[in-house]
Amino acid sequence: MTTPTTGCRNTPVLRERGQREVFCGLTGIIWLHRKMQDAFFLVVGSRTCAHLLQSAAGVMIFAEPRFGTAILEEKDLAGMADAHAELDREVARLLARRPDIRQLFLVGSCPSEVIKLDLSKAAERLSAEHAPHVRVLNYSGSGIETTFTEGEDACLAAMVPALAATEARELLLVGALPDVVEDQALDLLARLGIGPVRCLPARRADDAPAIGPNTVFALTQPFLGATHDALTRHGARPIEAPFPFGAEGTTLWLKAVAAEFGIAPERVDEVTAAPRARAEKAIAAAAQTLRGKRIFFMPDSQLEIPLARFLTRECGMEAVEIGTPWLHGPIHGPELDLIAQGPVISEGQDVDLQLDRVRAARPDLTVCGLGLANPLEAEGLATKWAIELVFTPVHFYEQAGDLAALFARPLRRRAALSGLAPHLEAAE
């Protein structure tokens, strides 16, 4: 693969404002709490917030949830002083019941932000009260401030100031990856002779990384703008790289990290030859279905740009429009360089106008949220619902085939069912 002579970095971006069909940052809790095994996420919000978490968590809510909502009631809105006392009481109850909890996140919501409930002050006060066993942190996952995966960004950025200081030269991997993926990444880095490597977030509070002027960090997720800035402010230095999706993305990511540690790209090729060949073989199977197909991304997670890069370069797809909720120049730039000119790059959303564009373009596959997927299918457009891309292990070599298959499956299914015309009666 070669870099296109002209990528999309300088393509004019279509910026839209209007109705946005996206999740708020609270949704990040659903995967973050699985990753941080001794953390509890307490949303301070309304019944709507609790209902959202329940709808997003689906069946997971019955497993062993380490998240909940302190639902604001009429009396909390009447007088502000009371709200802090109420919160202290609920937190004390919670921590008494769950002695295994070491980190408690007070997560701000739209209602708590609008009434300006000072959760950072509450976090300080509660931290002092429950120290040293529990550290209480605060971030906002409100819809008015954060979109979907930005909730993770806000959470990690809130953790940065609380990290210990170090002078050690260490690599920090930033972004919550499924454990299996994280293990693969650590193994690849170890085989390249890169270490020590720490992760943010760590699986447990005791393993939290330290940072300092000799720390270098590599993002594994594209939605970590605020965390990127917070780490930089605390002296750590970013490694600029495309994201580790697909065989090419993973290789480029590893080469960028290796270069930082003085390891030649040839050495990376040597170490990764076998998994890269496996990944390419697995991708090739799915690419048969995907080659030449036109894809439209509606904004959701900020994964859209790296995924479009993977699908256009490694699976032979053609991107019609790549929508992202936010575009961060320094983070998305290396990805945009690799995408050949052609697609519309859009930031933000006016959902009705964007749907008009989808209908006009009639792409072979539309990546969108669950509120739009079935309605578009009913209009005869194949869709891939985007949320799955955040929950499913998709990074690095071993998952590259699975990642391509996620996009191929709806098309294969459509072909398999085409003998039977879908019976699309209005559901009621």
Annotated binding site for [4Fe-4S] cluster: 24, 49, 110
The site for another protein, by CB under 8 A, has a size of: 73
Judged by CB under 8 A, the chain residues 176 through 195 that form the site for another protein are none
By CB under 8 A, tell whether 19 contacts another protein.
Answer: yes
From start to end of 246-300, where are the E strands? 294-297
**Closer to another protein by Cβ: residue 122 or 305:** 122
Shortest distance in whole angstroms from residue 237 CB to another protein: 30
Give CA–CA dist 41/231, Å, rounded: 22
By CB under 8 A, tell whether 93 contacts another protein.
Answer: yes
Judged by CB under 8 A, the chain residues 50 through 79 that form the site for another protein are 50-52, 54-56, 58-59, 61-74, 76-77
Judged by CB under 8 A, the chain residues 349 through 368 that form the site for another protein are 352
DSSP state string for 212-229: -TT-EEEESSTT-HHHHH
Measuring CA to CA, which residue among 325, 330, 396 is closest to residue 183?
Answer: 396
Classified as helix, coil or strand, 323 is: strand
Shortest distance in whole angstroms from residue 351 CB to another protein: 8
**Closer to another protein by Cβ: residue 269 or 352:** 352
By CB under 8 A, tell whether 227 contacts another protein.
Answer: no
Judged by CB under 8 A, the chain residues 115 through 154 that form the site for another protein are 115, 142-145, 147
Q: Candidates 16, 38, 90, 118: give the one binding another protein (CB under 8 A).
A: 90
Q: Candidates 106, 176, 305, 373: give the one binding another protein (CB under 8 A).
A: 373
Please measure the distance between the N-terminal and C-terminal CA atoms of the chain and give it in whole angstroms. 50
Give CA–CA dist 84/125, Å, rounded: 10
CA distances to 14, 205, 303, 332, 410 from 328, in Å: 14, 29, 12, 6, 30
63 secondary structure, DSSP code:
S
**Closer to another protein by Cβ: residue 242 or 325:** 325
Shortest distance in whole angstroms from residue 359 CB to another protein: 13
> What is the torsional sign of CA 130, 132, 133, 137?
positive
Window contacting another protein (CB under 8 A); options: 15-23, 223-231, 234-242, 274-282: 15-23
Shortest distance in whole angstroms from residue 49 CB to another protein: 8
By CB under 8 A, tell whether 97 contacts another protein.
Answer: yes
192 secondary structure, DSSP code:
T
3-state SS of 99-124 is CCCCEEEEEECHHHHHCCCCHHHHHH
Give CA–CA dist 200/208, Å, rounded: 7
Shortest distance in whole angstroms from residue 119 CB to another protein: 12
Window contacting another protein (CB under 8 A); options: 1-9, 12-20, 204-212, 249-257: 12-20
